[in-house]
């Protein structure tokens, strides 16, 4: 059977995926006979060691990079290549059989130490790069894995001192945060546009490299079943959630200046929102998609303080987990009186024909009970329904796009209780869990995809300056209120490390017509009943959990019984 046939049956698309990567490989490798130089600025730092170097290694190992490539790390610290790789080793996921190739990879790396503001250091770097590459026309990619405070000087000095000779190109990859508010972001954009053409700038938001985020465009615009209901007539509310089960882990110094809204909501979650809410682009071309994303952002009003819930995690003294016993204020670098939010929920309103009246609730938090990112599209109640469950309305349908972990799309829906007489309704799901449906398919890491995009000159998954400006316009007014330490309107509520969120945030969801009954539990969460929102009254919570468990064991017993009698086949 040909690989295409296998894949269309949905059984084994692995070979086809390999072909796609083969195509990428050929495209990247053929795109120029030149040498490529990949510069990692901030090579001594956290992002470089955890993400950038490991990604470069995986791409190199898998043969996805051009053959003539060299890597140059740059930072102020007096390091060597050996030391850089010692720092990264634990993140490389190295197999014994890869050792020889890994040595080869290390051998094409160099390290240059220098300042971020002295032109002489950049001239020296330029000369060194020409020397190592043995040519002046190598294409150059610069990854700025640096604190934003030095973006200005570094980007300017690269442009004026490190450009290759034509016809070679230069591409600059800039990490978020792109500014701190509308003004500083606009200043950074102006600064960059003075020194670079827009097509040379790649503002990275790694959420745009995630499989399920990329899938949103296909899910929305290749399925008539969704396109007809994707609007205010059918949808009651949309929630976009980011949860992490770790605290700031020593990055508190950076985090305290930014807070969770700048860290994940203004960028990752708003990028997801813009794809979920945009109109159909003219084509799948990058500029068409980015045009539509900006258009929908333009229709969002700035967030109001009354639509914001903020929290900061505190240590859970009773936890057996040592990390959980420490609060945000215990992190090194965090001022002891900091009010920086580590949890936030904001509600956004899109003022257009499609979305008027539909709340978009964006929620992000650190030090919660689990790591998870997902989009929940909750449909309105079934009008004129003849069904009820225990005297109450049947549950609403909800489409869930699970971004991570364990990528899945599932549609929560009502179903006749299998095996029973009559029309008793039970909540269940249509389930597309990737690791079951697409067994053996490798989903590349977000950074792998995005770095490949840069090599290929594809800007589709990078943030354009007008998108950025709109995103900052929407969040800047509440950020300035939050930053104002004397503002009495700002209430940052403490929550224990490991909790599922803030009750106050869930209350706002109910106010905005997002209903959560707690009667449905997704299969990944069945063993972990903590994922439901906290109840005000713990007793009520445990009662509900018991009820839910009983309900489910009832139904599985019913299925079992009928299975035994041979009348129902197992799903
Ligand atoms: N770490 C992460 O998981 C993520 C980080 N990012 C973003 O990536 C960028 C880099 O992050 P990360 O690696 O964590 O940052 P680091 O704090 O580790 O900084 C990177 C390097 O920059 C230099 N540096 C640090 N502080 C300063 C300073 N005040 N002035 C000048 N140079 C400094 C240091 O190198 P030296 O002293 O040797 O010059 C350091 O090794 C940031 O913009 C961050 O927001 C984005 C997503 C995730
Ligand atoms: O950009 C950021 O993202 C990470 C979470 O990334 P993920 O891919 O693991 O979901 C977050 O920890 C960090 O604070 C933030 O800056």
DSSP 329-349: GGSTTS-TT----SEEEEEEE
User: Within this chain, do residues 418 and 460 fall inside the same structural domain, yes or no?
Assistant: yes
What is the Cα–Cα distance from 559 to 237, expressed in whole angstroms? 33
Q: Is 238 in the pocket of ligand 2 (CB under 6 A)?
A: no
What is the Cα–Cα distance from 313 to 342, expressed in whole angstroms? 7
Mean pLDDT over the full length of the chain: 88
Q: Any idea what the CATH number is for the domain that residue 485 is in?
A: 3.30.360.10
Give me ligand 2 centre to Cα 244, in Å.
8
Residue 540 located in a structural domain: no
From residue 421, how far is each of 385, 386, 416, 562 by CA, in Å? Answer: 20, 17, 9, 11
What is the Cα–Cα distance from 254 to 248, expressed in whole angstroms? 9
pTM of the full predicted structure? Answer: 0.88
- Residue 109, beta-bridge partner list: 71
Residue 216 located in a structural domain: yes
Q: Any idea what the CATH number is for the domain that residue 146 is in?
A: 3.40.50.720
Q: Is 346 in the pocket of ligand 2 (CB under 6 A)?
A: no
| Ligand 1 atom with the shortest distance to the CA of 75 | 39
Q: CB-based contacts of 353: which residues, under 8 Å, 6+ apart?
A: none
Cβ atoms within 10 Å, residue 146:
22
- Residue 428, beta-bridge partner list: 413
Cβ atoms of residues 380 and 369 within 8 Å: no
At residue 560, the 3 state secondary structure works out as: helix
Give me ligand 1 centre to Cα 121, in Å.
19
User: Within this chain, do residues 364 and 244 fall inside the same structural domain, yes or no?
Assistant: yes
Cβ atoms within 10 Å, residue 458:
15
- Report the residue among 52, 206, 270 best suited for mutation to probe ligand 2: largest number of ligand atoms under 8 A from its CB: 206
Cβ atoms of residues 268 and 207 within 8 Å: yes
Give me ligand 1 centre to Cα 520, in Å.
42
User: Within this chain, do residues 135 and 220 fall inside the same structural domain, yes or no?
Assistant: no
> What phi, psi does 136 have (nearest 5°)?
-100, 0
Give me ligand 1 centre to Cα 47, in Å.
7
Q: Is 146 in the pocket of ligand 1 (CB under 6 A)?
A: yes
Q: Which ligand is nearest to the CA of 241?
A: 2
Cβ atoms of residues 516 and 503 within 8 Å: no
Residue appearing with tokens 């109910």: 510
Residue 148 located in a structural domain: yes
What is the Cα–Cα distance from 165 to 426, expressed in whole angstroms? 67
Q: Is 42 in the pocket of ligand 1 (CB under 6 A)?
A: yes
Q: Is 264 in the pocket of ligand 2 (CB under 6 A)?
A: yes
By the 10 Å C-beta count (0-12 exposed, 13-18 middle, 19+ buried), 398 is classed as buried
- Residue 7, beta-bridge partner list: none
What is the Cα–Cα distance from 281 to 274, expressed in whole angstroms? 12
User: Within this chain, do residues 460 and 370 fall inside the same structural domain, yes or no?
Assistant: yes
Residue 182 located in a structural domain: no
User: Within this chain, do residues 530 and 475 fall inside the same structural domain, yes or no?
Assistant: yes
Establish whether 349 is a catalytic residue: no
User: Within this chain, do residues 290 and 431 fall inside the same structural domain, yes or no?
Assistant: yes
Domain boundary among the residues 149, 175, 201 is at 175
Range of the structural domain that residue 110 is part of: 31-175
Give me ligand 1 centre to Cα 142, in Å.
15
Residue 252 located in a structural domain: yes
| Ligand 2 atom with the shortest distance to the CA of 176 | 1
Cβ atoms of residues 70 and 133 within 8 Å: yes
**Token pair for 90:** 């634990």
By the 10 Å C-beta count (0-12 exposed, 13-18 middle, 19+ buried), 194 is classed as exposed
Residue 112 parent element (H or E): strand 109-113
User: Within this chain, do residues 358 and 485 fall inside the same structural domain, yes or no?
Assistant: yes
Query: Among 442, 482, 416, which Cα is nearest to 18's?
Result: 442
User: Within this chain, do residues 259 and 170 fall inside the same structural domain, yes or no?
Assistant: no
- Residue 139, beta-bridge partner list: 36
Residue 557 located in a structural domain: no
User: Within this chain, do residues 313 and 221 fall inside the same structural domain, yes or no?
Assistant: yes
- The predicted pLDDT at position 23 comes to 60
**Token pair for 310:** 């903020």
User: Within this chain, do residues 167 and 234 fall inside the same structural domain, yes or no?
Assistant: no
pLDDT < 70 stretches in the chain: 1-33, 527-571
- The predicted pLDDT at position 527 comes to 66
Q: Which of the following is catalytic: 126, 206, 268, 324?
A: 268
What is the Cα–Cα distance from 466 to 461, expressed in whole angstroms? 14
**Token pair for 291:** 């045009």
Nearest-10 Cα torsion for 111, 77, 255, 210: 10
Query: Among 473, 479, 45, 476, which Cα is nearest to 259's?
Result: 479
User: Within this chain, do residues 63 and 147 fall inside the same structural domain, yes or no?
Assistant: yes
Cβ contacts of 518-524, under 8 Å, gap ≥ 24? 518/544, 518/548, 519/389, 519/395, 519/427, 519/548, 519/551, 520/395, 520/412, 520/427, 520/429, 521/548, 521/552, 522/400, 522/410, 522/429, 523/431, 523/433, 524/406, 524/408
Atom 25 in ligand 1: which residue has the minimum CA distance? 147
Q: Give the chain's domain count.
A: 2
User: Within this chain, do residues 171 and 213 fall inside the same structural domain, yes or no?
Assistant: no
CA 473-478-479 angle, 5° bins: 85
Give me ligand 1 centre to Cα 279, in Å.
37
Strand order in the sheet with 36-41: 109-113, 69-75, 36-41, 139-144, 170-175, 201-204, 462-463
Residue 61 located in a structural domain: yes
10 DSSP 8-state letter: T
Q: Is 263 in the pocket of ligand 2 (CB under 6 A)?
A: yes
What is the Cα–Cα distance from 552 to 544, expressed in whole angstroms? 12
Query: Among 297, 295, 281, which Cα is nearest to 460's?
Result: 281
Q: Is 244 in the pocket of ligand 2 (CB under 6 A)?
A: yes
Q: Is 250 in the pocket of ligand 1 (CB under 6 A)?
A: no
């Amino acid at each position: 059977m040909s690989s295409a046939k296998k894949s269309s049956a949905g059984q084994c698309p692995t070979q086809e995926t390999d072909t796609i990567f083969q195509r990428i490989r050929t495209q990247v490798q053929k795109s120029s006979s030149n040498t490529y130089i990949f510069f990692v600025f901030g090579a001594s730092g956290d992002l470089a060691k955890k993400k950038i170097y490991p990604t470069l290694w995986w791409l190199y190992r898998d043969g996805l990079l051009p053959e003539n490539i060299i890597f140059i790390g740059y930072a102020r610290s007096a390091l060597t290549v050996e030391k850089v790789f010692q720092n990264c080793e634990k993140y490389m996921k190295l197999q014994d059989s890869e050792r020889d190739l890994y040595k080869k990879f290390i051998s094409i790396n160099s390290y240059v130490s220098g300042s971020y503001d002295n032109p002489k250091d950049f001239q020296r770097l330029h000369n060194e790069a020409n020397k190592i590459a043995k040519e002046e026309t190598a294409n150059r990619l610069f990854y700025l894995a640096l604190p934003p405070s030095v973006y200005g000087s570094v980007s300017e000095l690269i442009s004026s001192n490190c450009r290759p000779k034509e016809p070679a190109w230069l591409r600059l990859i800039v990490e978020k945060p792109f500014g701190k508010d509308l003004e500083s972001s606009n200043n950074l954009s102006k600064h960059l546009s003075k020194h670079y053409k827009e097509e040379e700038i790649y503002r990275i938001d790694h959420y745009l490299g995630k499989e399920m985020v990329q899938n949103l465009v296909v899910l929305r615009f290749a399925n008539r079943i969704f396109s007809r209901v994707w609007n205010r007539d059918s949808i009651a509310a949309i929630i976009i959630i980011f949860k992490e089960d770790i605290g700031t882990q020593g990055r508190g110094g950076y985090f305290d200046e930014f807070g969770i809204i700048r860290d994940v909501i203004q960028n990752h979650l708003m990028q997801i929102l813009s794809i979920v809410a945009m109109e159909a682009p003219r084509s799948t071309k990058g500029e068409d998609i980015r045009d539509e994303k900006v258009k929908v952002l333009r229709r969002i009003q700035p967030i109001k303080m009354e639509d914001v819930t903020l929290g900061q995690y505190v240590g859970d003294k009773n936890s057996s987990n040592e990390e959980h016993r420490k609060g945000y204020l215990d992190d090194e670098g965090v001022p002891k009186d900091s009010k920086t939010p580590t949890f936030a929920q904001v509600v956004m309103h899109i003022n257009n024909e499609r979305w008027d009246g539909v709340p978009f609730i964006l929620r992000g938090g650190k030090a919660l009970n689990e790591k998870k990112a997902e989009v929940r599209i909750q449909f309105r109640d079934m009008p004129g329904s003849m069904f009820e469950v225990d005297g109450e309305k049947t549950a609403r349908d909800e489409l869930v796009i699970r971004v991570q972990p364990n990528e899945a799309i599932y549609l929560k829906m009502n179903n006749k209780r299998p095996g029973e007489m009559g029309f008793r309704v039970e909540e269940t799901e249509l389930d597309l869990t990737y690791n079951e449906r697409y067994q053996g398919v490798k989903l590349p890491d977000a950074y792998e995809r995005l770095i490949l995009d840069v090599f290929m000159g594809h800007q589709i998954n990078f943030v354009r300056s007008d998108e950025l400006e709109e995103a900052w316009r929407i969040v800047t007014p509440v950020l300035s209120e939050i930053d104002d330490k004397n503002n009495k309107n700002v209430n940052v509520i403490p929550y224990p490390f490991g909790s599922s969120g803030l009750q106050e945030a869930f209350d706002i969801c109910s106010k905005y017509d997002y209903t959560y009954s707690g009667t449905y539990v997704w299969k990944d969460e069945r063993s972990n009943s903590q994922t439901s929102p906290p109840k005000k009254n713990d007793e009520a919570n445990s009662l509900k959990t018991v009820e839910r468990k009983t309900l489910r064991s009832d139904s599985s017993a019913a299925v079992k019984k009928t299975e035994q009698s041979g009348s129902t086949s197992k799903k």
